[in-house]
Structure 1
Amino acid sequence: MPQGKIIKALSGFYYVFGEEGTVQCRGRGIFRKNKITPLVGDEVVYQAENKTDGYIMEVKDRKNELVRPPIANVDQAILVFSAVEPEFSTTLLDRFLVLVEYNHIQPLICITKVDLMKEGFSKLEQYAVEYRKAGYEVIFTSSETTEGLEELSPYLEGKISVFAGQSGVGKSSLLNALRPELDLKTSDISQHLGRGRHTTRHVELIKIGDNGLVADTPGFSSLEFTEIDPPELTYCFPEIARLSEDCKFRECLHVSEPKCAVKAAVEAEELPAYRYKHYKDFLQEIKDRKPRY
């Protein structure tokens, strides 16, 4: 039987791309019985008599999966954050980074709308330096001026990428700038709410460049750390994970333990105070949800 990749899911139908082109399929009834839901990004085995009447017979093992947005086998997450409108937030960025790190997805920080910056750009540049020091790639872009698009494009080749971020930051605009023929729907920022309205209603993999696939998703509807245990949070902050190797205790949580290399790095201003604050805030949030800790 032929194999392919689900590139779109809509209204109970799965659109599978393989050697025979794109075939519209349904899932087998046994999937529902076994609580298996095919996801965009899944590698599947299917059978079909024609292009519009196929059935998915098997879902291959996944290397990762996200629940919201529902997508599997993601290689990297392009975390799109605007310089302004809505204002850049390290707290929100760190929430996204923790969730991406926990799911073993490579993040790329993309700060867009830089053409709208009238002042305060030096602060953004300082953030970029600090996140790069932590181990992240950071790119400045503009959908209007096309600044940074040539730098971004090579990262998309040969990978399944998720564009994720707060609504209104310009994810669809950025994709339109990368591939104008897409003509994805965009919306302006609500001046009353200070944020955008979601314009993407379903998950679909879009071809970018020669062999890249990008998911323009409805965004993470949940940024809660429901699956993460306190000791795991350390490894969702790569610079804290590196420093923790020098802590006295193996499962040091870097809050009240003695001879903690992370706290020492904060005091020496080697670790940005806001990153450590977010770590402690997230840790407390996880502890509140998991009383046994």
Structure 2
Amino acid sequence: MSRSDLDPASPPLASFRFTRVVAIQWVVGSAVGFFAFAYCFGHVYAWIRGVSLEPIVIAASSPPTTFGWLAVLLGLLVCVIVPHELLHGAVMAYYGGSPSYGVGVSHFVVPYAYAETDGRRYTRNQLLVALLAPFVGLTALGFAIMVIVPSPLLVVPLAANAAGSIGDLWMAAILCQYPADVRVGGLLDDGDRGFGIYGSRDRPTTRIPGTVLLSRFVTGSVGTLALIATYALVAILLSLAFGSGDVVLGDPDAGWLFFRHDRRADGSALLEIGDGPLLAAAALGGLAWTSVTIVRRRFEGEHDGMRK
């Protein structure tokens, strides 16, 4: 959205700024999201090929073999970035924008590639298509290739693309809280990275009813999964590094298990993840976070009322 198209006296209904805190949240979300998406896409691959995903066997390998696989995976990740950004740009161009591409490091935290356009005002739905096109398009293409190519290695670039779409999904979730008639464009403040959501002058626009509570629930659910996944990753890496033994979170004998990592004598490992308990924990985390935010905002409102 061109700054000249906006009325400086009319502030945006809401704004999103890519701050250092957001950058760190995206890094953590992408790291955890990569393993979460890999697990989900692994289930899809297993269903397409008619095989069982679990137990997941992690074979032991020598350092040269490990470095070779890391080089292959790095090449796959690079190959994902280019079509991801080209799809962003193609949608922007379709809606009349002139996309430009580049790479950078935000707040000395997040290295990123980008496709952006200036001087163009987008509707909510147009920007949603631009944000979600790489995630939806490349995921669908990957599933189609899985039908033809029986290689579990396909899960890696798909998970990398999905993890790289965390920021896109984050911004799309913000946009979905507003009706389709809002316009989305650059911020009026020079130097700020992000976007503003602008309503019509003659018709006030507010968030769609219920989306605030839904947003809090999703935030709590995703945050709960991220905490559990972060603990699991750290515990497993420490176990592999120091040979400290198996890692179990849950009680398999009692019928609930978040994850289990069993080491074998030959150096390989078995990984098992409990889908049901994890989803239940995420739902409880979402409900808890929603309740906490409601109580906090009500308390802050009463406190402000008392001061007046």
TM-score relative to the length of structure 1: 0.25
Which structure has more RCO (C-alpha within 8 Å, separation ≥ 6)? 2
Rg comparison, structure with higher value = 2
Q: Which has the higher helix share?
A: 2
TM-score relative to the length of structure 2: 0.24
